[in-house]
Amino acid sequence: MKIAQIAPLWERVPPPGYGGIELVVGLLSDELVRRGHEVTLFASGDSQTLARLESVVSQAIRLNSNIREPGVYEMLQLQRVVELSDEFDLIHFHTGYSALPWAEVIQTPVIHTIHGTFSPDGRKLYKRYRKQNYISISDAQREPEWEINYVDTVYNGIDMNNYPFFPKPQNRPYLAFLGRLSPEKGIQHAIAIARATGWHLKIAGKIDPVDRKFYQGEIKPLIDGNQIEYLGEIDHDQKVELIGNAAVTLFPITWREPFGLVMIESMSTGTPVIGMNMGSVPEVIAHGETGFICNTIEEIIAAIPAAVKLNRQACRDRVMAHFSVATMVEGYEAAYAEVIKATMSQRNGHMHSHQLVA
C-alpha cells in the first residue's frame, strides 16, 4: 500500500525531547515501511525516518527563530500533499483541523487521527466535516453527540526496545513527574503530593511560552533543589532513567487527557502510575495492578504505599499487550483497509446512481 503520513511541522519526527504526536508518527511510519508499505512522510526536513521524506521547511519550526508565521509552512505542506495526492492509496493526517477543508478536495481516501482535545472553536470545523474518517486515540476522547465518523479507536504505541525494564526502583526512592509544566498536566498537584507525604519528587518537562507565567509565579518558588527537584527538558535516555528508577510516576491531570504517553512509558520500564480519573486514564492504567486511578489528591496520597508494592513486571506486560508499536500499527492497517473499502463502495454507489439517472 502507498501511504502518506502528514506530521505537524513544530517538532521534528521523531522529537529529540518532548513531542507525543511526532513520536507516534515516527514509530508508525517506520513500522509500516518494515511491513512492506511504501510510505511518504510529510514532516520537517530534519526528521529521521525510514520513509521517503517530503518537507517544505528545513528544520522543525520550534527551533527556527527566523520563522514569524508558522501557518505559512503548514499551508505549503498541505498544498504539497494535494499536489502529490494521486500517488497514494491512502493519506493519513496528524495535523488537526487545518487539514479538514483540504481533505474535501482530495480524491484519495483520507483518514485523520485526532491527537488533542476539541477546543470550542475547533468544534465548529469538526462538526462541519464530521463525515470525514477519524481515529480516536482513546474512547474517552470521543464526542458521540456530534456524530463524527469514527472508524476506530487506536491506542498510541511505543517501541518497547527503547524502554529497558527496571526490576526495582533506585535505593533512594522518589516520585517522578514527566510532562509539560502546565496547570492541566497537574505539576502543582504533584508538588503538593510530595510536600504532604515527604517524598522526594523529580520533575522533568518543557515550559511552553503560554505556561511561563504560571511556572514563574506558582511552581518555581516551590522547587528547592532538594526535596522538589526540576531536571529541565531532558532527552530520551534521561527520561528512561527518570521514570525507570522511580518508585511511582504521578499523573495528576486536571483535564480530559486524550491519551497520555507518559503513562505507558512509565509502565514499560516497570514503574506503576497513579493517575487522576479523567480522560484516558481508566483505559490505560489497570487499577490495582499497574497503578491506581484516583478521584482526588487525597486518594493519590493514600495510594502511594500500595503502588510501591505493585508487581513491576505486570506493568511492563500490560504495555506489551495493549500499547506496543505492533498493536498500534495493526490497528491502523485495519482502519486503512476499512476506509479504502468504504471509499470505493461509495464511489461505486455514486457511479451506479449516475448511470440510473442517465
Which of left, alpha, beta for 41 (phi over 0: left; psi -120 to 50: alpha)?
A: beta
**What local confidence, expressed as pLDDT, does residue 117 receive?**
84
pLDDT exceeds 60 at position 357: no
pLDDT exceeds 50 at position 356: no
pTM over 0.85: yes
The model's pLDDT over 31-60, given as tens digits with 9 standing for 90+, comes to 999 999 999 999 999 999 999 999 999 999
Decide the pairing of beta strands 201-204 and 134-136.
Answer: unpaired
**What local confidence, expressed as pLDDT, does residue 351 receive?**
53
| 283 in Cβ contact with 258 (< 8 Å) | no
Mean per-residue pLDDT for 338-353?
Answer: 77
Q: With cut-offs at 50, 70 and 90, classify the pLDDT of residue 16.
A: confident
Q: CA 121 to CA 258: how far, in whole Å?
A: 18
pLDDT exceeds 70 at position 322: yes
**What local confidence, expressed as pLDDT, does residue 349 receive?**
65
Q: Which domains does the chain have, with CATH numbers?
A: 2-157+324-357 (3.40.50.2000), 160-320 (3.40.50.2000)
pLDDT exceeds 80 at position 162: yes
Q: With cut-offs at 50, 70 and 90, classify the pLDDT of residue 350.
A: low
More confident residue, 42 or 349: 42
CB neighbourhood size of 27 (10 A) = 21
Strand segments, DSSP code E, in the chain are: 2-6, 38-42, 52-54, 90-93, 110-114, 134-136, 150-153, 175-178, 201-204, 228-230, 248-251, 273-276, 291-294
Q: CA 202 to CA 176: how far, in whole Å?
A: 5
Q: Which of 81, 84, 83, 105 is nearest to 93 (CA)?
A: 81
**What local confidence, expressed as pLDDT, does residue 20 receive?**
84
